[in-house]
Structure 1
């Protein structure tokens, strides 16, 4: 049996970084706002895989949740990651207990809420994969966690945890994925942490050495996109457009009612989180940022509106099975590029 006592705060829809911020507060007595960590990876990626179900996957960000996110921040915040995935539950359960016994909290990644008893809305009712919690304790029957949607410590029966953890998560993680956060000597200057992370992402967007990431990736996409109607089948284009739509949800990836026929009840504008990032920059500019953050926020707010306009057009194309006029979107993507560039340059000029 082991139980760590960590501070905790609610952070709706920010489960991938909520535990990380709990650990930081535990070690320093100060808390980095989750929204500055989570929404700061705005950008662009175009993943091309000829044999994949979606041969062109467009993401309006420059980093995935999970391993890449924790690796991105570790050298900036100051922690080590002890990670594992894909092993059998018995081995994984042994490993995470050993980490807890060393006073290392563990992020449990890719859980299905269908098997989490405290998630009453979904427990044994609806499969919601990809959830993330922070493991702070265990005994012979339960694991004890911080959940971003709950104020108090929650318990998960070990048998339910095994079921919740038994599937891979959409190419981001394998089953039984975990990340021990060993934060021995964290950086205590939170403004430096936030500015360094946001600045590093801005540099990646503006000067990526990779042709599919950042501004280079967006330029490449704009050059290719008009020809996709002659390269891909209607079914493939349907998947490409739908993927773009889904992953521009500002709160979470989600297809809108016009395509899915389902209403989640979540207010989820398709602005690729630019609205959320802009709000965070304005909210925290005096505490963690610079005056140029407000200028950057205005550009991100506008780029979010442009993304939403593109998505609305894509929704109509998918609903009407009409993909013959992609050229109409090129001016929008070019305007998007200008606002994104101005926003990231404002950040670097802070």
Structure 2
């Protein structure tokens, strides 16, 4: 058997967690500014987790967990998400083929880039188990899957054995092994870009200002500002810097990349604010650009393990973003 679904594909590096969804929505007629989806889904956010037995025991994330990002977007855009995780490979591979045969692309991940041959710098060299791809077809004779990957324009081919190994990863709090997702029951008419932006940005602002749990949002940022001067684990500092960048768990050589996607959020708000005459969005965009510069400053102190300096910068970030999110609520 062989099947290949012909979908449009948008190449946008380092956005694997939402790239497949964007392709599916574009296929179904959705027209959105590319970074609207990750921003309203919770990227350019904040989380501060502490687990005594984890390595490192304190972890800082500058965006939503992809596991929850897609759930947030399903609520905003009105589709239903079916998730299969933790099952045996045989059952998962069969499920993927059945979905493709039914005309439904499959979002797969988290998976380990160690087994993706089209990343030669990582292939069988470095384990990076936080990638996501869109499965758009398969070929039983060649024993290969056809894949959309955010870094490449063209469809990639991956051997069955390599995809099996790549999905056999567990990322605590993020993904179980063999996790795949499909979209179900898309609305007859997807929300317009303005409808999605208005609903999504207000929703995000509320969750950042008044999060459901204390480990998220502005309250978590202020908590970290008080606690980070007492950190003594260097890996905690490096984790904070790495996840502010685009290639976690690696800390990039150029820390200018470590802005927690605030520059993208700023660009989106200013662009949509001008497009739809939303002055508050434009003002918030200016503030997030300032926050992005502060996060870079924070990461420079983090790689020097300067907890006291980090604490002061975090307070400035929290103050700046609180002002921005209040503007987004109007």
The match for 1:245 is 241
Please give the alpha-carbon distance, in whole angstroms, between the structure 2 residues aligned to 1:333 and 1:142: 47
> Secondary structure at 1:34's aligned position in 2?
coil
5+ long unaligned stretches in structure 1 = 258-262, 318-322
Q: Kindly provide the CA deviation profile for residues 10-43 of structure 1, in whole angstroms up to 9, marking residues without a partner as x.
A: 1111111111011111112x33233222244233
> Secondary structure at 1:316's aligned position in 2?
coil
Q: Kindly provide the CA deviation profile for residues 125-175 of structure 1, in whole angstroms up to 9, marking residues without a partner as x.
A: 544432211111223122112121222222222122112222223541122
Q: In the alignment, does 2:108 pair up with 1:113?
A: no
Q: In the alignment, does 2:302 pair up with 1:314?
A: yes
The match for 1:32 is 32
Please give the alpha-carbon distance, in whole angstroms, between the structure 2 residues aligned to 1:123 and 1:333: 36
Q: Cα 1:21–1:160, aligned 2, differ >3 Å: closer, same or farther?
A: same
Structure 1 segment 328-343 matched on structure 2, within 5 A = 328-343=309-324
Structure 1 segment 131-146 matched on structure 2, within 5 A = 131-140=131-140, 141-146=143-148
Please give the alpha-carbon distance, in whole angstroms, between the structure 1 residues aligned to 2:117 and 2:239: 31
Q: In the alignment, does 2:195 pair up with 1:199?
A: no
Larger Rg: 1
Q: Cα 1:256–1:56, aligned 2, differ >3 Å: closer, same or farther?
A: closer
Q: In the alignment, does 2:213 pair up with 1:218?
A: no
Contact kept, 8 Å, 1:109 with 1:178, in 2: the verdict is: yes
Q: TM-score, normalised by structure 2?
A: 0.89
The match for 1:22 is 23
Q: Kindly provide the CA deviation profile for residues 202-251 of structure 1, in whole angstroms up to 9, marking residues without a partner as x.
A: 1011122422222222233334344x35xxxx4xx2222222122111x2
Contact kept, 8 Å, 2:194 with 2:276, in 1: the verdict is: yes
Aligned length: 324
Contact kept, 8 Å, 1:76 with 1:187, in 2: the verdict is: no
Please give the alpha-carbon distance, in whole angstroms, between the structure 2 residues aligned to 1:197 and 1:149: 26
**1:267 Cα deviation from its structure 2 partner:** 7.5
Q: Kindly provide the CA deviation profile for residues 94-143 of structure 1, in whole angstroms up to 9, marking residues without a partner as x.
A: 11122222222110112333323334444445444322111112231221
The match for 2:159 is 157
The match for 1:320 is none
The match for 1:74 is 74
Q: Cα 1:300–1:100, aligned 2, differ >3 Å: closer, same or farther?
A: same
The match for 2:176 is 174
Please give the alpha-carbon distance, in whole angstroms, between the structure 2 residues aligned to 1:119 and 1:190: 33
Q: Cα 1:274–1:166, aligned 2, differ >3 Å: closer, same or farther?
A: same
Q: TM-score, normalised by structure 1?
A: 0.84
> Secondary structure at 1:43's aligned position in 2?
strand
Q: Kindly provide the CA deviation profile for residues 259-304 of structure 1, in whole angstroms up to 9, marking residues without a partner as x.
A: xxxx5xx785222111222122223434467232221111111111
> Secondary structure at 2:257's aligned position in 1?
coil
Please give the alpha-carbon distance, in whole angstroms, between the structure 1 residues aligned to 2:255 and 2:298: 19
**1:254 Cα deviation from its structure 2 partner:** 4.8
The match for 2:269 is 281
Q: Cα 1:7–1:305, aligned 2, differ >3 Å: closer, same or farther?
A: same
Contact kept, 8 Å, 1:252 with 1:268, in 2: the verdict is: no
The match for 2:186 is 184
The match for 2:14 is 13
Please give the alpha-carbon distance, in whole angstroms, between the structure 1 residues aligned to 2:129 and 2:22: 22
5+ long unaligned stretches in structure 2 = none
Contact kept, 8 Å, 1:248 with 1:271, in 2: the verdict is: yes
| Stretch of structure 1 that moved more, 201-210 or 167-176 | 167-176
Please give the alpha-carbon distance, in whole angstroms, between the structure 1 residues aligned to 2:302 and 2:123: 34
Give the root-mean-square deviation of aligned CA atoms: 2.4
Please give the alpha-carbon distance, in whole angstroms, between the structure 2 residues aligned to 1:288 and 1:77: 19
Q: Cα 1:99–1:302, aligned 2, differ >3 Å: closer, same or farther?
A: same
